[in-house]
Each structure stands twice: as C-alpha cells, then as structure tokens.
A and B are shown apart, each in its own frame.
Chain A
Amino acid sequence: MTAQQPPRLLRGIPLAVRKLRKAFGTREVLREIDLHIPAGQFVAVVGRSGCGKSTLLRLLAGLDSASSGELLAGSAPLSEALEDTRLMFQEARLLPWKKIIDNVGLGLKGNWRPQALEALEAVGLAERADEWPAALSGGQKQRVALARALIHQPRLLLLDEPLGALDALTRIEMQQLIENLWRKHGFTVLLVTHDVSEAVAIADRVILIEDGEIGLDLHVELPRPRVRGSHRLAALETEVLNRVLSLPGTPPEPEPVSPLPTQLRWAQ
C-alpha cells in the first residue's frame, strides 16, 4: 500500500483499530471505527469540528479509554506500546518554568543532554537551548514540542492539529520539517487536521471522519516531494472538501479514483 516511500527501516508501528466505540455519557462520539494502518504510513485525519477526530487520537495516545473495541499495535494491544507513542498537542504545552532544553528532556533519565541538543538541532533551535519558553514564538514553541516528542524515538507519532494556530508560512515550514523527519525516521504518523489542503499535501492517506464513522478513505498516490499548488493536489483537495461539505446524500466512493479533470470546476 505504501510502496511509494523510499526504502527505510520499518520503525513504525502497524496500527489496527477494531470496532472502536467511544461514548461520553449518552453521546456517541465514535462508533464502529475499523482502521488498518501499515507501519510507517503518514495518515491525515480530517473532519468537521466535533466529528470525533481528536477523540480518536486521544484514545490512541492512551489519554482516554475506549468504550469498546480494540486498539492494536501489530498483534499486541496498543497500550503496551505507550512508551513508543508520542502525542503533539494543539498547543505546544511547554513547561514555562523549565529551560527549553529541559523541556525537551522531560521524563528522561541519565545523561540526556547531548541527545536533547541533537533533537533541538534537528528542529533548528539548538542555539536557544538555554532560554525560557516565554522567549519563543508560537512556531518555535511547536518546534520544541516536536523535538520533545522525537527525542523518545517514537514509533507512532500522533499530531493533534499542532499547526492549527500557526501563520501560513510557519505552517508550511513545519509541515516540511515534519515530513522530512518522518522520511528520515520512518515512524507511523497520524495527523489530525481541519486543513484539507494540508492533509493532501503531506499525507499518504487521508481519512475523513463523519458522525463518528469513517466517511472516506483516500490514498494520495503522489510522489514526494510534492509541489504545493499543483493540479493533482488541488483536485484531491476538492474531492475531500466536496465530501465534507455535502454531507448526506452523496454516496461514498468505494475506491479512491484518480480525480477527474471535470472536478476542478468545484475548486472555486
């Protein structure tokens, strides 16, 4: 399924979700989610706000527990792989009372400083290691949060709209940074986003969640590096957007087909 990626170690966790249900009180947020994600795949999860996409991520991260259903890493329960799972939140959530490098080393034991510096180097902030987080901009804080996640060498990286609050240029920079690090390390990524263009530009596969169910499962078979603003991306984006906006009525496409040129009409 993901043969298009460059060869690399299979570091990622293969993820299987079976009949996952999550209800808060009587309100069912997720019902009957079935999902299989091969190791190392970059999956974007899109959907309207409140559709349950963040809930799915929190379940995968072990922050909430499911009402029923199974979460598997390979054949073992995902909860046994919590050490290999890291979540990046919508806000950076840096501890303001710890220097930047100490934030990166949070929860580590032993001599982690060289490693933390390396992780900061990878996100381009090594020279700010000894400053307080308050001195950083929003984008820089998210880069520190990324370094903090990567230092644990996660096999599953969960991203909960981490770029939502950033300005457009910083956002593209961060997307490229995440993509490059993913290509280098080969972890499995689940990116929750409300930005469909971001989803199709960066992911191997776009999953749309509607009313707690998977409404669309679209493979983006485009070579990398992808050219932003290309017709193919625009067409894919339109396909997903159409699906999101025209809720019931239109039957879901059984198989992702390459976009037709006629669909471009909807792009405006």
Chain B
Amino acid sequence: MNSQRILHRLAPWALPVLLLAVWQLSVSAGWLSTRILPAPSAVIAAGVHLVSSGEIWTHLAISGWRAGLGFVIGGGIGLALGFITGLSKWGERLLDSSVQMIRNVPHLALIPLVILWFGIDETAKIFLVALGTLFPIYLNTYHGIRNVDPALVEMARSYGLSGFSLFRQVILPGALPSILVGVRFALGFMWLTLIVAETISASSGIGYLAMNAREFLQTDVVVLAIVLYAVLGKLADLAARGLERVWLRWHPAYQVHKGGAA
C-alpha cells in the first residue's frame, strides 16, 4: 500500500529523469557536440558559477523589475479600462471597439516603432511588457463584470446596496474568477514579451545573459538562461494559483479538500 503510493508519486518524474540521463550520457560519450547542447552537468556548473560570482542576481533582479513594473502598469490600465467598459454603457460604447481594435495588433510587431520612440533603454521594455499584459486583463475583467449574475445584483439592490458597496460586495467578487484567469494569461505574456525584448536589445537581464553567452559560444549559459525563464514562468503561475486559492476560497472548484465536509 505504502510502497504503491511512493510509486505513484515518483511515476511522473520517471520520464524527465530518464531524458536527462540519456542527454548526459550522450554528451559525455561524445555523440552530441557541446556546441549543440551542453551536458546537464555543465548547465548546473554554469549556474553554480554565476551564483557564486553573484552575477546572476543582478540579471535576475533587473529582469524581475522590468517584468513586474510592466505587469503592474499594463495590468492596472487593463483593469481600469475593464471596469469602465464593464460598468458603464457609455464607457463600453466609447472604448470597447477601440480597445478591441488595438488588441488585434500583435504587440511584438511594434518593436521597431518602440525602439524608435524610446531607444533601447528600460522604457521600451517596460512599455512592451505593459502592452502585452494589458489586453488579457482588460478582456477578462470586462467579461467578468458582464457575466456577474444579474439576479444577484438585483437581490443586492433590493437589500439597499448601491454604488461602491454594490461594486465591492457583489460585482468585484463576482468578476474575480474571470479577472484571475486574465492575470494568469497576462503573466504568460509578460515573460514572453520580456524574453523577446531582452533578446533584441539589452545590456543586462537574463536575455542579455543568453545573447552575450551566444557570442562566446557558451551554450551552457544559454541553456541556463532558458531554464531560468522556465522557472520564473512557473513561479509566476504558482503565485497566480496562490491568489486564486486565497481569493476564490468560497468557490467549490478552488476549495482545498479538508475531508469530512458534508
């Protein structure tokens, strides 16, 4: 019984571990050139080296700062626009079709223009990240508010709620599941945009680390940078899940099973 449970726990890891082992073996046996793929051990060694020199932290910090600031600005604007169009008929009439039109422009297509506007410094990257995170949050906020059960709103009005208290107690919590879906999409776009922006032009950050390593044929650092992006993306997703678990704990779909509940 117990050993079976351990087996079930370990089973999902079997394939990745096997893959890593084959990879390591094929590099050390010389079947795979280190120019194409470095051995996993080499990637780890590169990571250890960058950590001990402290270099990695400055790059991580600057990438995190760009991502975070862009997300806050873009998400904030998206949320505000979503509230405006979701809550007011006139807001919807005036804004929604314009926003939907801009949404259809792939924001990465703006890179040449953005470089012309802002040069290649921080502003350009933060602008791109903000643009990438704005629309998923806008769209989901707008739809979340539109899909709040009108029966609940009617009930709340008949119990004397209106204005801000109606918004805070009924509309916002009702829209929150959808808004958080938007946040998860936006976090995905946030890293994607940042990777592209940093790869094109940067003098610091993880993307710079990778591009710089490419010039010196340090494939181990390049792979390390890719792994770092993956880990950061996973962390952001975990954070979003954590928010869901806290803010949507009333929702049956997000409840952690405690057992014994009738």
Stretch of B104-112, B156-164, B222-230 that contacts chain A: B156-164
Question: A62 touches which one: B155, B158, B174, B251 (CB < 8 A)?
Answer: B158
What is the bound-complex CA distance between A86 and B262, given in angstroms?
31
CB distance from A259 to the nearest CB of B (A): 38
Answer whether residue B169 sits at the interface, using C-beta atoms and an 8 A cutoff: yes
Cβ-defined contact, B152 with A93, below 8 A: yes
Cβ-defined contact, A135 with B152, below 8 A: no
Per-residue CB contact flags for chain A residues 128-147 toward chain B (1 = under 8 Å, else 0) read: 00001111000000000000
Answer whether residue B210 sits at the interface, using C-beta atoms and an 8 A cutoff: no
Cβ-defined contact, B156 with A63, below 8 A: no
Task: Report the interface size for chain A: residues with CB under 8 A from the other chain.
Answer: 21
Stretch of A30-38, A94-102, A216-224 that contacts chain B: A94-102
Question: B156 touches which one: A62, A83, A107 (CB < 8 A)?
Answer: A107
CB distance from B250 to the nearest CB of A (A): 4
Question: B173 touches which one: A61, A91, A95, A134 (CB < 8 A)?
Answer: A95
Per-residue CB contact flags for chain B residues 221-255 toward chain A (1 = under 8 Å, else 0) read: 00000000000000000000000000001111001
Contacts of A107 in B (CB 8 A): 156, 159-161
Cβ-defined contact, A93 with B151, below 8 A: yes
Per-residue CB contact flags for chain B residues 170-197 toward chain A (1 = under 8 Å, else 0) read: 1001101000000000000000000000
Known contacts A106-B161, A106-B169: does B154 contact A97 (CB below 8 Å)? no
For residue A90, which residue of chain B has the nearest CB? B151
Cβ-defined contact, B169 with A95, below 8 A: yes
Cβ-defined contact, A135 with B151, below 8 A: no
CB distance from A151 to the nearest CB of B (A): 10
Contacts of A93 in B (CB 8 A): 151-152, 155
Contacts of A63 in B (CB 8 A): 154, 158
Cβ-defined contact, A106 with B158, below 8 A: no
What is the bound-complex CA distance between A62 and B158, given in angstroms?
8
What is the bound-complex CA distance between A134 and B151, given in angstroms?
17
What is the bound-complex CA distance between A132 and B154, given in angstroms?
21
Contacts of B152 in A (CB 8 A): 93, 95
CB distance from A135 to the nearest CB of B (A): 6
Answer whether residue B1 sits at the interface, using C-beta atoms and an 8 A cutoff: no
Answer whether residue A87 sits at the interface, using C-beta atoms and an 8 A cutoff: yes
Answer whether residue B102 sits at the interface, using C-beta atoms and an 8 A cutoff: no
Question: B151 touches which one: A62, A89, A98 (CB < 8 A)?
Answer: A89
Contacting residues of chain B (128-178) with chain A, CB-CB under 8 angstroms: 151-152, 154-156, 158-161, 169-170, 173-174, 176
Cβ-defined contact, A96 with B161, below 8 A: no
Cβ-defined contact, A135 with B261, below 8 A: yes
Known contacts A62-B158, A107-B156, A132-B250: does B151 contact A91 (CB below 8 Å)? yes
What is the bound-complex CA distance between A104 and B165, given in angstroms?
16
Known contacts A83-B160, A107-B160, A135-B262: does B250 contact A98 (CB below 8 Å)? yes
CB distance from B145 to the nearest CB of A (A): 15
CB distance from B144 to the nearest CB of A (A): 13
Task: Provide 29 A-B residue pairs closer than 8 Å at the C-beta atoms, listed in order of the A residue.
Answer: A62-B158, A63-B154, A63-B158, A83-B160, A86-B158, A86-B159, A87-B158, A89-B151, A89-B155, A91-B151, A93-B152, A95-B173, A96-B250, A96-B251, A97-B173, A97-B250, A97-B251, A98-B169, A98-B173, A106-B161, A106-B169, A107-B159, A132-B249, A132-B250, A132-B255, A134-B251, A134-B252, A135-B261, A152-B159
Q: Which B residues are within 8 Å of any A CB, using their own CB?
A: 151-152, 154-156, 158-161, 169-170, 173-174, 176, 249-252, 255, 261-262
Known: A63-B154, A132-B255. 8 other contacts (CB 8 A): A61-B158, A89-B155, A91-B151, A93-B152, A98-B173, A106-B169, A107-B160, A135-B262
